[in-house]
Amino acid sequence: MTNPTSYAPGTEAAHKGRSCIITRAISASEILIQYSDTKDIITVRTSSLTARGTKTPQTERPLDAVHDKDLDEARRRLEAITPLLKLSKRTSNDVQARGAELNLGKSTLYRWIKEYEISKRLTSLAPNRRTKRKRNLNKKIEAIIQDVIENEYLTKQKITVVKAADIIARRCRKIGFKAPHKNTVRNRISEIDIREQTKRRHGDKAARDTYSEITDTYSDLDYPLGCVQIDHTLLDIQVVDDVKRIAIGRPWITLAIDKFSRMITGFHLSLDCPNEFTVGLSIIHSSLAKDAELDRLGIEGTWPVWGKIRTIHTDNGKDLSSKLILKACEEYGINVQRRPVKRPEFGGHIERMMKRLGDEIHTLPGTTFSNHMKKGEYDSVKEAALTYDELYRWIVDFIVNDYHLTEHRALEMSPLRTWTEGLKVGSKERTIGFLPPIQNPEEFKMAFLPFQKRTVQRDGISWDNIQYYSPSLKKWIRQKKGRAHAKFLCRRDPRDITKIYFLNPDTKTYQEITISRRSPAVNTLWELRALKKLKAVSGQKLDHRDQIDRSRNQRDELVKTAKKITKKATKKKITEKQKSKNRVKSLQDFPVVPNFPQVIIDNTQDAEGNEKPLNIDLDALKKRWKEQSCQ
């Protein structure tokens, strides 16, 4: 609220909304006033008085809200009324004379004087441009403009303003009206909310990503491991095998980051596509102590992250919301929350960390870069130099001795320091400076390890063509369940496939089964995959396959030819047999009559191959038949 222009006796003011007149000053902070309506005289503090007719704060514009052109107009108006403001007693003639001098109306000058005396601010004289300009177009033209904007411009077709103006012009000319200028169409479109335009033309996602506020609806837990985000990415680098240093592919990383401190709680590196097991292994790595791993890798530094995660934030992938993960998390009281569909901003922390790691990966030999333009003529396969184990060690060293120690822009301190400070306050579930470790870490690990159900044979349990055997399996060899072989739950850590964990049906506990001597000497699943891929790359398997195919084709041709010959011979034999049968039958068709002369006619041929004509004396033959029949 604006204070009175002065506290001199006779000055009009307002006290608690009531009009009053200042009578006299009592002290430096108190003053005597008389209400105009009741004529009551009271003592009030000077801070409680306001200028009579003061505008409300809602109508007072800040200096920054006034356009420069309007401010210039305010200066012109102040210059016009300044001589009148300096007069101790201002009369109507004085105002009228000043108006005649400046070619301004008397009422205009009175209005400017009143507006300025209320607040004594230059901006009070600035023009108020709140009202919209009146539209002078014909209603039919306005209807055409609105129809084209609604049904042509605000669509996924995304036509331009010029195209929309052309459609409007053609429709107007068709009904005999002059087409509006294209700037008029632009002005009508500009009046539509920009978010609504983007939503109608480009879709909800584009409008949300561009104009929506970034909010996090997840529980904002303010202590370490209160909220951990997990996601996957395919690293832009080719790794090589340990033996011949041949490129075997790009690895995937499953990364987990603490939302409170931005500390990397754990990760899992794999040559397999992301699945529920890679998520489980990253949770294991996040929850268990890492000192032994740092010692094994020979990395100096500290990674003080262990303990139970309170909440895990994931996207909506099947691997991150599988029954295995949900069941294991439920067992240990870990809450799983999924971010809204197609809302990547809800996973911003992990996304930014993935980008940071990707930028570092691009500096390594064998990088594929993020796109073909950056890659250029760089041969990633040829330049590849790091094995899986070497890349794993590089990532751990980068996390521990680089990322965790670098000041984070949003935190204004390093993730490690933020983590340390966060452990000192605010939670009854942890002691000062430390998180409680996971109780029974082996059982915790079992809940998230990959599993399969396998039968027990005489040579043990087979998994990926690797044999595992222990005398303790003797009881379960070839055990039946109904008419089929019984299958038993087995778990295995891909980072150490020299052993599996067999769930004993009797004791309901896992027992360790080691690899047999006949199986290949590999320690990790990635080494096993690399060994298989190396054999395929070396061409051994391909050469055998060609030889086998060639042999099979030859054998097929042999069988096919034999079948043709056999079929032809069989057909010939049947034909000859049929001819012989027909010839014998023609001789046997005649009935044998006792004492009847048998006549056999042989159509013999002459030397030229022509049949000799038959000369038979039928009368003599008949006479002979009669004589024989009488005998």
Over residues 558-579, the pLDDT tens digits come to 878 887 888 888 888 888 877 7
Q: Encode pLDDT of 519-533 as tens digits.
A: 666 677 767 776 776
Q: How is 465-490 classified by DSSP, letter by letter? A: TEEE--GGGGGGTT-EETTEE--EEE
List the single range of 176-190, 493-507, 548-562 with lowest mean pLDDT: 548-562
Q: Say if CB 451 and CB 490 are below 8 A apart.
A: yes
The reply to whether 594 falls in a domain is no
Distance (Å, whole) CA 621 – CA 227: 126
Question: What average pLDDT score do residues 343-347 get?
Answer: 49
Q: Last residue of some domain: 481, 516, 537?
A: 537
Q: Encode pLDDT of 211-247 as tens digits.
A: 665 555 444 457 788 889 988 889 989 988 877 788 8
Confidence of residue 265 (pLDDT cuts 50, 70, 90): very high
Q: Say if CB 286 and CB 259 are below 8 A apart.
A: no
The verdict on 357 and 468 lying in the same domain is no
Q: Say if CB 334 and CB 310 are below 8 A apart.
A: yes
The verdict on 39 and 149 lying in the same domain is no
The verdict on 412 and 528 lying in the same domain is no
The verdict on 253 and 196 lying in the same domain is no
Distance (Å, whole) CA 419 – CA 392: 24
Tokens of 118: 């209320």
CA distances to 279, 501, 615 from 451, in Å: 13, 9, 102
Distance (Å, whole) CA 87 – CA 81: 10
The verdict on 393 and 314 lying in the same domain is yes
Measured at the CA of 611, the angle between CA 608 and CA 616, to 5 degrees, comes to: 140
Q: Encode pLDDT of 75-89 as tens digits.
A: 999 999 998 888 888
Query: How many structural domains comprise the chain?
Result: 5
The verdict on 232 and 367 lying in the same domain is yes
Confidence of residue 605 (pLDDT cuts 50, 70, 90): low
The reply to whether 269 falls in a domain is yes
Phi-psi region of 595 (alpha: psi -120 to 50; beta: other; left: phi over 0): left
The reply to whether 368 falls in a domain is yes
Confidence of residue 585 (pLDDT cuts 50, 70, 90): very low
The verdict on 18 and 79 lying in the same domain is no
Considering only CA atoms, which of 100, 97, 125 is closest in space to residue 113? 125
The verdict on 256 and 380 lying in the same domain is yes
Which residue intervals of 491-539 are DSSP H helices? 525-538
Phi-psi region of 158 (alpha: psi -120 to 50; beta: other; left: phi over 0): left
Q: Last residue of some domain: 162, 180, 211?
A: 211
The verdict on 265 and 346 lying in the same domain is yes
The reply to whether 614 falls in a domain is no
The reply to whether 267 falls in a domain is yes
Beta bridge partners of 34: 21, 41
Query: What pairing do the DSSP bridges indicate for beta strands 335-338 and 41-45?
Result: unpaired
The reply to whether 310 falls in a domain is yes
188: domain range? 139-211
Tokens of 513: 């089964």
Q: What is the CATH number of the domain that holds 278?
A: 3.30.420.10
The reply to whether 624 falls in a domain is no
The verdict on 71 and 40 lying in the same domain is no
Best-predicted range by mean pLDDT (25-34, 395-404, 406-415, 584-593)? 395-404
pLDDT for the residue 316: 61
Distance (Å, whole) CA 235 – CA 9: 81
Residue labelled with tokens 């400070």: 421
Question: What average pLDDT score do residues 204-209 get?
Answer: 72
The reply to whether 512 falls in a domain is yes
The verdict on 275 and 340 lying in the same domain is yes
Q: Last residue of some domain: 477, 504, 537?
A: 537
The verdict on 394 and 487 lying in the same domain is no
Q: At 378, give phi and psi (nearest 5°).
A: -70, 125
